[in-house]
Each structure stands twice: as C-alpha cells, then as structure tokens.
Amino acid sequence: MSRLQQFGYGCRDSLAMIVGIVPFGLIYGALASLAGLTLWQALGMSLLVYVGSAQFIAISLLTLGSGALVILLTTFVVNLRHVLYSAALQPYVGGLPQRWRLPLAFGLTDETFAVVQRRYLARGMADYGQWYHAGVALALYLSWVGSSLVGALLGQSVPNLAGWGLDFAMLATFIGIVVPALRNQPQIAAALVASAVALLCHAWPYKLGLMAAALSGIAIGVWLEQRQTRMSNGEAG
C-alpha cells in the first residue's frame, strides 16, 4: 500500500472529527474577535498554538482581564493531559526520525490522538503508519485553522454577537468531555472538589483560584485512588 493512499485514509477517517471541530473553530474565532484580538492574532493563535480547549480558556481569561502569566500557567495545566497522549503514542512515534516527530508532536490534539490511536492499536506502524498519522494531523489542523478564520471574520462583521452568549458552547464542550469521564469515585471526587474550590476562590486575584481548584481536585483524586488500591490489596492479602 502506498504512502499517499495511507495519507488519504488518514484524511478520510478524520471526517467525523472535522464535523465536531468546525463549530468550535467558528465559535473560537468569533469569541477571539469579541475579546479584542485582531484577525491576525485570532488566526495566529490557531496556527501557532493549535489547542482548542486552551485557546477557549485563554480567550475567556482575556475577556475577564487576567494577566499573561496566569493565562500561561493555565495553558500549562490544561495541556498537561497531552503528556498522556505523548506517552501512549511514544512506542510508535518514538522510533521515527526527528523530521517526523516534530510535526507529529505539534499536531497532537485530543482529536488526532483519538483517530490515530485506533489505527496504531490495530496495525501498529505497518503500511506507512506515519503517513496515515500525517493525513489525520493535517486534515484536522486545516479544519481548525480554516474554521477559526471564518469565525473571526464573522465575529468582526456580525453586530451584537457578544450579546448571544456564545461562550456557553465552551461550557457545553467541557461538560461533554468531563461527565463521561466520571466513571469512578476518585474521578467524581476530583470533579466535586475542584468545582467547590473554584467557586470558593473565584474572587482571588489573577484567577489563581483556578490553579488552586485544579491542584485540589488532582490531589483528592490521587489520594482516593491510592486509598482504594491499599484497601483492595489489604483484602487480597
């Protein structure tokens, strides 16, 4: 099977994800315009940063008037989950030359991971796996950048767009990601504790309450998971 064919299969298997990405790109672009970013800045963030969730959060933090340091810290924490993806794909991508690893790392989003992981698990690197991966990454990248651009143009030309409450799309997206992940007690506890701390500390300067909330949630999740492991080990022994 040829490289080009695999590249094409990658693009084809990305279609379902593209249907999900385009509305967010549109909304991101519109919100970025409303937050006061120029067309080039809104587009530049999609081109260079390329991470939907953190871009949404950065925009809402900018709207709330947060400082750059807080936004960068938040970007770091929100993106930490990509370490998991990087670790999961390491056995396949780790052996490729640098000129492959750099662009594939740049394109490693939630959606890219979801599509390529299925292929890697089924067939590994057989039949030009990296070309399939490249097809997925490029198709998803272009759909994100393209829809961001259209959204930013809409944001600048449609009057009163700010009054619609488009930012709810971000909340709905995050709910759609979090709720299905609440499959066990530690995950549920992490969500509850993080929410409670975030509400209690929302008035802290520079949105530092978000950091406190995230760290509290992670700590409680890890603590409960370890307690469960100890208890089940105790029963087994």
198 part of the interface to another protein, by CB under 8 A: yes
221 part of the interface to another protein, by CB under 8 A: yes
Cα–Cα distance measured from residue 141 to residue 105, given in angstroms and rounded to the nearest whole number: 12
Q: What residues between 8 and 27 interact with another protein by CB under 8 A?
A: 19-20, 23
Residue carrying the six token digits 């963030």: 45
Indicate the residue among 8 and 44 with the shorter CB distance to another protein: 44
Tell the smallest beta-carbon distance from residue 2 to another protein (Å): 25
Residues 126, 2: contact at Cβ < 8 Å? Answer: no
User: Whose CA is closest to 191, among 205, 206, 177, 207?
Assistant: 177
Which residues have a Cβ under 8 Å from the Cβ of 207 and sit 6 or more positions away? 61, 64, 66, 70, 74
Phi, psi of 41 (to 5 degrees): -70, -45
Q: What residues between 32 and 91 interact with another protein by CB under 8 A?
A: 37, 41, 44-45, 48-51, 53-55, 57-58, 60, 64, 68, 71-72, 75-87, 89-90
Cα–Cα distance measured from residue 131 to residue 93, given in angstroms and rounded to the nearest whole number: 11
User: Whose CA is closest to 184, among 230, 132, 209, 220?
Assistant: 220
**Which of 97, 99, 157, 180 forms a contact with another protein (CB under 8 A)?**
180
Indicate the residue among 4 and 215 with the shorter CB distance to another protein: 215
Residue carrying the six token digits 């549920």: 188
Give me the numbers of helices (H) and strands (E) for the chain, helices first please.
12, 0
Indicate the residue among 1 and 181 with the shorter CB distance to another protein: 181
**Interaction mask 123-162, another protein, x per CB under 8 A:** -------------------------------------x--
**Which of 6, 14, 120, 167 forms a contact with another protein (CB under 8 A)?**
167
225 part of the interface to another protein, by CB under 8 A: yes
Tell the smallest beta-carbon distance from residue 116 to another protein (Å): 13
Tell the smallest beta-carbon distance from residue 232 to another protein (Å): 15
Q: What residues between 85 and 104 interact with another protein by CB under 8 A?
A: 85-87, 89-90, 93-95, 101-102, 104
226 part of the interface to another protein, by CB under 8 A: yes
171 part of the interface to another protein, by CB under 8 A: yes
Structure tokens given for 223: 């603590």
Cα dihedral 197/202/205/208 (nearest 10): 40
